[in-house]
């Protein structure tokens, strides 16, 4: 087995990995952290990401290859900065790269770009986006701790993979008593980085808790939920953010994630890693500590 828990690449800083298996190979779609000494603030200005580099491995024992720049913000007319966590899907031999980025008014949109190859280059299409209320809110009110926590959004795409086929809806995550998780339940409630995979007929929604730095998951019978909280996947890593993906390859499951170990703990200089993920006899994911076997 390849050396797990080590950075996939060390010549650039990478984060937010979305891993997929296409044509028998593993492809990883990460953010690209630029090295700089700029401001670090609550607006996330320290994350200066302007392009995407697609990583690939012939198998889990093979070296990881950086396939070069696949898309740059200069290629997307509406983007001003911060091309954050991307993902990719394949349909009918076409590859669709989805990415969030700030427009000229510094509002986040979701863009999509298309390629004939899983490593690009990708040609951007017009953007599409949706806010929770249907319109942009400059300074949304803080959610009370005892109120229902916000969940991620889900929507089916049109056949061309370029638009929503339906209005996005919020996914509900329940506790062990069937009640929605509360906003103040920072060890379990959704914060960012949703990922979904299917195991033994069940859907697993995994995500980051943000402030408490856990990767956790919930299980449901439908990709639209509801989901019931089931436990932790990964304990906190070096660095503030925790963002991941889960993929099956040749009968085994793998967790791709990032930390800031390559930069000695600088939050905006991260590195992508992976390790094997295991389930118990009841389908529960066995919790992992990032720096232990």
User: pLDDT tens across 135-163, in order?
Assistant: 667 777 888 999 999 999 999 999 999 98
Q: What is the pTM of this model?
A: 0.94
Please calculate the CA angle 115-121-122 and round it to the nearest 5 degrees.
50
> Pick the catalytic residue: 6, 16, 186, 259?
16
Average of per-residue pLDDT across 255-265: 96
Q: What is the pLDDT of residue 293?
A: 79
- Asked if residue 52 has pLDDT above 80, the reply is yes
Q: What value does the CA radius of gyration of the chain take, rounded to a whole number of Å?
A: 18
Domains and CATH numbers, the chain: 13-277 (2.115.10.20)
235 given a catalytic annotation: no
- DSSP at 109: E
How many separate helices (H) and strands (E) can be counted in the chain?
Answer: 0, 18
Query: Does residue 109 or residue 288 have the better pLDDT?
Result: 288
16 given a catalytic annotation: yes
Q: What is the DSSP string of 61-91?
A: TSPPEEEEEEEEGGGSTT--B-----EEEEE
> Pick the catalytic residue: 50, 51, 185, 192?
192
Average of per-residue pLDDT across 166-173: 94
Q: What is the pLDDT of residue 248?
A: 98
Query: Given pLDDT bands bounded at 50, 70 and 90, which one contains residue 126?
Result: low
Q: What is the pLDDT of residue 2?
A: 45
The pair of structure tokens assigned to 269 is 């200089």
Q: What is the pLDDT of residue 1?
A: 42
Measured CA to CA, the distance from residue 30 to residue 262 in angstroms comes to: 15
- Asked if residue 5 has pLDDT above 90, the reply is no
């Amino acid at each position: 087995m390849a050396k797990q828990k080590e950075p996939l690449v060390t010549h650039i800083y990478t984060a937010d990995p979305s891993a997929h298996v296409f044509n028998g190979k593993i492809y990883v779609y990460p953010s690209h952290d630029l090295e700089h000494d700029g401001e670090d603030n609550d607006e996330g200005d320290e994350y200066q990401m302007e392009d995407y580099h697609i990583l690939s491995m012939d198998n889990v024992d093979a070296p990881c290859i950086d396939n070069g720049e696949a898309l740059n913000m200069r290629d997307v007319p509406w983007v001003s900065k911060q091309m954050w966590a991307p993902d990719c899907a394949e349909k009918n031999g076409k590859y669709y790269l989805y990415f969030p980025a700030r427009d000229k008014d510094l509002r986040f949109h979701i863009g999509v770009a298309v390629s004939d190859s899983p490593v690009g280059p990708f040609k951007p299409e017009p953007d599409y986006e949706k806010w929770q209320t249907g319109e942009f809110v400059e300074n949304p009110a803080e959610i009370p701790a005892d109120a229902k926590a916000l969940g991620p959004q889900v929507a089916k795409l049109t056949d061309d993979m370029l638009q929503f086929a339906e209005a996005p809806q919020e996914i509900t995550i329940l506790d062990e008593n069937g009640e929605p998780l509360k906003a103040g339940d920072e060890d379990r409630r959704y914060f960012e980085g949703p990922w979904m995979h299917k195991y033994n007929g069940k859907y697993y929604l995994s995500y980051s808790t943000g402030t408490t730095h856990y990767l956790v998951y919930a299980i449901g019978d439908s990709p639209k939920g509801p989901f019931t909280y089931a436990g932790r996947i990964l304990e906190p890593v070096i660095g503030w953010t925790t963002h991941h993906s889960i993929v099956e390859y040749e009968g085994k499951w793998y967790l791709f994630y990032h930390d800031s170990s390559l930069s000695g703990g600088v939050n905006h200089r991260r590195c992508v890693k992976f390790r094997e993920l295991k389930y118990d006899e009841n389908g529960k994911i066995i919790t992992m500590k990032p720096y232990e076997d």
